[in-house]
Amino acid sequence: MITLVEAGIKGGSSHKHFWTDDERDIVRRDYDGHKASAERIASKLSDMAGDTITFNAVKGQAAKMGILQNKSPDWTDLELEFLSEHIHEYSVVTIAKRLHRSVNAVKIKATRLKMGLRFRDGWYTKTEVAEIFGVDHHKVQKWIDTGALLAKWYTDRKPQQNGTAMWHISARALRDFIVNYNGELVGRNVDLFTIIHLLID
């Protein structure tokens, strides 16, 4: 028998998920108005939160944020100029946030315009690594703590939970991790696009 929750109907034994700002940011960044993106986001957030977040819940949040649309708006000249100037400096995630577009939209546009995808001067933050592997940042921290993923302090201060500093993870360290710990590349949320570029760069 299909439950009320499975049918997307409120009531019964279902519970309300309390959305965080980080989760809303992911919806704002990755939702492109299509069903497939909403399903990917729902799966990703469910894994991150350890909770069931449905396709309809993602669409509901998108509607509240005014981004429930079926087609992404055309790129403006200013957006294309920003993309061209910063694609080698900032991560795709950062550019997507700045332009209020999905990560996939930025990747596709950059690829069509034959722009290489590089991260700044070849390093990543812990948050970006979590995005690439589709995991929670706590798992990335565990890889760092065990020495599986080599990372340095970006400043002279060890990164704290309050975000006063960040980890500096080189592209080479990330490539070595992918090669030596490829068993960690599981799930539908792995960013294969970026991983492939890392390995062939």
Query: Could you report the per-residue pLDDT of 135-148, keeping only the tens digit for each?
Result: 888 899 999 999 99
Q: Residue 10 has what pLDDT?
A: 44
Q: What is the mean pLDDT of residues 61-68?
A: 76
pLDDT band at 157 (very low <50, low <70, confident <90, very high): low
pTM for this entry: 0.46
Crossing angle of helices 77-86 and 103-112, in 10° steps, is 80
How open is the CA angle 54-56-57, to the nearest 5 degrees? 65
Q: What is the mean pLDDT of residues 52-58?
A: 87
Mean pLDDT of the chain: 78
- The lowest-confidence range among 29-43, 82-96, 109-123, 136-150 is 109-123
Percent with pLDDT over 90 in the chain: 13
Name the helix (H) or strand (E) containing 131.
helix 126-133
Query: Residue 10: which residues within 8 A CB-CB, separation 6 or more?
Result: 4
Domain boundaries, the chain: 21-64, 77-112, 123-200
Query: Could you report the per-residue pLDDT of 160-183, keeping only the tens digit for each?
Result: 665 545 788 988 999 999 999 988
What distance in Å separates the CA atoms of residue 147 and residue 140, rounded to the nearest whole number?
11
Crossing angle of helices 103-112 and 92-99, in 10° steps, is 110
Tell me which residue of 189, 194, 145, 197 sits closest to 167, measured CA to CA.
145
Percent with pLDDT over 70 in the chain: 79
- Contact call for residues 32 and 40 (beta carbons, < 8 A): no
Q: Residue 162 has what pLDDT?
A: 52
Residue with the bigger pLDDT between 120 and 21: it is 21
Tell me which residue of 52, 49, 51, 54 sits closest to 22, measured CA to CA.
49
Residue with the bigger pLDDT between 60 and 160: it is 60
Other Cβ atoms less than 10 A from the Cβ of 16: the count is: 7
Q: Residue 164 has what pLDDT?
A: 47
Q: Side by side, which strands form the sheet with 167-170?
A: 123-124, 167-170, 152-153
> β-strands 167-170, 152-153: how paired?
antiparallel
Task: Supply the CATH classification number for the domain 123-200.
Answer: 1.10.1660
Q: What is the mean pLDDT of residues 59-74?
A: 74
- Contact call for residues 94 and 146 (beta carbons, < 8 A): no
**Scanning the structure block, which residue is given the tokens 């760092």?**
144
